[in-house]
Structure 1
């Protein structure tokens, strides 16, 4: 039985399901989910992430991590955790640079959080020299600070969608109409006072997206960081403060696709509410930096200088290096779309942000 058939059968048996339930099944079904059965990243997949565009992305984050490690007085043991490490490309670039700092490699405990067996195999192949271990939860960490990196992780966590009507907010659901999957609304209203204050004056038919999974992950990690010291660096498309609007999207074969079609074969994601994550982190006792665009962050870290150095060392590839730099930082490409979020132990001064 295909995932498509399973979802339709579940709807017929139990009624319409929330967008979060549908998204979770599509992405992480134990055997047929998008991230369990496919290799989604790269030219053979459905999308290309920043680390796949240029080594400069990971190298600069490597410098960033060394800077924080040094600010913490170069602890003799620390955990470096990546959420959703993809093919291991980002972490390989990070560690190639970071491990040049004396003492960094010896202190490193590399941990990865991943659900895709095909990607775990690639991560093992690329990162074997660093003795990685894969985590199933965020409960047990070795002694020392915890530095967390998450690139395009939070956007894939299932969201719930709500639409305001005269009698309150109604949750958007996925059901069947004439045998085909379609969006509809739960008949049971949720009182306006139960929703975030930021949308208290929202007009009728306005949509609000809420990602409880992102808040829970952030809460768990913030508590760990508050107890051990360290930071969380997250790079994703999103916004700085809670707002309304529909950002749910599907991508298949490097093109936008209907999220209700081809479940398990389509990448589904939504923009991240970094304002909500910042509130969660601060409640746990962490400090947060003003949200930066990817272009601003990488430029402040010196991507222009790094690109120039690479071009001098590889003159035959100078045009490609400049094209990659532009794709990562230009406002009409990835530079403005992607945002950089940082929550950290009070007292640290993460580079790349303007306080």
Structure 2
């Protein structure tokens, strides 16, 4: 039993079963034993690998997208480049390196990182020496004036609550204790989640209420709509809304039981990009997308960038570039191309941003 599991078990004994969202928040963000508070989870020695760690090409192209969004916003003399959940700082470092060629861009920006983990803040500081980033614990602290924000694999780690359709109606899914004192799933009293227009829902259907992710998107959308700028959201999930249990635990690059070792495994969920887009529309922003990561990266010039790097590489380096290229855009379980989606938010007067020429949700709000 992990130390955090013992604390959660005692909390359940005192207060009763926990909603899934509260359980996730404790597993990931407990100040002493939370998963992200105590480690660097990235790379081959960690539990998972993100796109910026696979290849510099990813961050370089995202950086050029950001520079285009800055110019489309009127090239403000001062703006904040905000990254949510910046990992090791790799994505930010690659974005900044790629944008050195853009006149006036580097002089106009200040770097702001939304990060709660002391361990990861230290890693980011080492990666971004000479950049002088400003760290924030909340998104609200980072938003001031024109902003261009990037969130890669951030929304998937935000807590959500789950509801299960039963013969009595929707009931909230809870984490409780079994007869031996171990963690187990259970159901609470009947509830009324905002599941949208649903019609007849089969017994056993799971609805996920992503309140924290929707709050982040609403904040971003409202801010760029009022103050200017754009936001790019990249994560794994679905283009269209639906039902289903997407909660999963990752440890040592494999799936684990979400209840087995609280604080020792990453907990994530799939992002519902349609619901995120509708929240952004209601907050006053324009939408670009959603599209797949494959579509975005190819539209931004991934193939050309890979070819340019290969021309200067030896045989081993060319093989690594080719492998990274495939992993970033390959479909199915072998790559990230279709599983990962991208959605951009902006002021309504901005032109359609790069990579989204053929993808735009209808304006329904």
Same-fold status (TM-score > 0.5): yes
Q: How does 1:188-267 map to 2 (within 5 A)?
A: 188-191=189-192, 194-267=193-266
Residue 11 of structure 2 corresponds to 10
Partner of 2:87, secondary structure, is coil
Once the two structures are overlaid, the 10-residue window that deviates more, 68-77 or 264-273, is 68-77
User: Using the alignment, how far apart are the partners of 1:140 and 1:47 within structure 2?
Assistant: 28
Partner of 1:310, secondary structure, is helix
Partner of 2:348, secondary structure, is coil
Residue 341 of structure 2 corresponds to 339
User: Using the alignment, how far apart are the partners of 1:130 and 1:147 within structure 2?
Assistant: 17
User: Using the alignment, how far apart are the partners of 2:240 and 2:209 within structure 1?
Assistant: 12
Are residues 160 and 143 of structure 1, via their aligned partners in 2, closer, same or farther at CA, if it must alter by over 3 Å? closer
Residue 350 of structure 1 corresponds to 353
Are residues 54 and 313 of structure 1, via their aligned partners in 2, closer, same or farther at CA, if it must alter by over 3 Å? same
Are residues 141 and 120 of structure 1, via their aligned partners in 2, closer, same or farther at CA, if it must alter by over 3 Å? closer
Contact 2:286–2:346, Cα closer than 8 Å, also in 1: yes
User: Using the alignment, how far apart are the partners of 2:204 and 2:292 within structure 1?
Assistant: 30
Contact 2:56–2:94, Cα closer than 8 Å, also in 1: yes
Residue 363 of structure 2 corresponds to none
User: Using the alignment, how far apart are the partners of 2:325 and 2:40 within structure 1?
Assistant: 25
Once the two structures are overlaid, the 10-residue window that deviates more, 133-142 or 217-226, is 133-142
Once the two structures are overlaid, the 10-residue window that deviates more, 103-112 or 341-350, is 341-350
Are residues 109 and 9 of structure 1, via their aligned partners in 2, closer, same or farther at CA, if it must alter by over 3 Å? same
Contact 1:75–1:144, Cα closer than 8 Å, also in 2: no
User: Using the alignment, how far apart are the partners of 1:231 and 1:200 within structure 2?
Assistant: 36
Partner of 1:197, secondary structure, is coil
Partner of 1:231, secondary structure, is strand
Partner of 1:109, secondary structure, is strand
Q: 1:273 Cα shift?
A: 1.2
Residue 293 of structure 1 corresponds to 292
Q: Structure 1: where are the runs of 5+ without partners?
A: none
Residue 362 of structure 2 corresponds to none
Contact 2:80–2:109, Cα closer than 8 Å, also in 1: yes
Spell out, residue by residue over 1:294-348, the C-alpha distance to the aligned partner (whole angstroms, 9 max, x if none). Answer: 1111011110000000000113311110110000001131111111111111132
Q: 1:17 Cα shift?
A: 0.7
With normalisation by structure 1, the TM-score equals 0.96
Q: 1:144 Cα shift?
A: 4.2
Once the two structures are overlaid, the 10-residue window that deviates more, 47-56 or 196-205, is 196-205
Q: 1:141 Cα shift?
A: 5.7
Aligned-pair Cα RMSD in Å? 1.4
With normalisation by structure 2, the TM-score equals 0.93
User: Using the alignment, how far apart are the partners of 2:217 and 2:235 within structure 1?
Assistant: 14
Q: Moved runs in structure 1, 4+ residues, more than 6 A?
A: none
Are residues 231 and 49 of structure 1, via their aligned partners in 2, closer, same or farther at CA, if it must alter by over 3 Å? same
Q: 1:142 Cα shift?
A: 7.5
Partner of 1:64, secondary structure, is helix
Residue 122 of structure 1 corresponds to 123
Contact 1:36–1:116, Cα closer than 8 Å, also in 2: yes
Once the two structures are overlaid, the 10-residue window that deviates more, 229-238 or 139-148, is 139-148
Once the two structures are overlaid, the 10-residue window that deviates more, 204-213 or 218-227, is 218-227
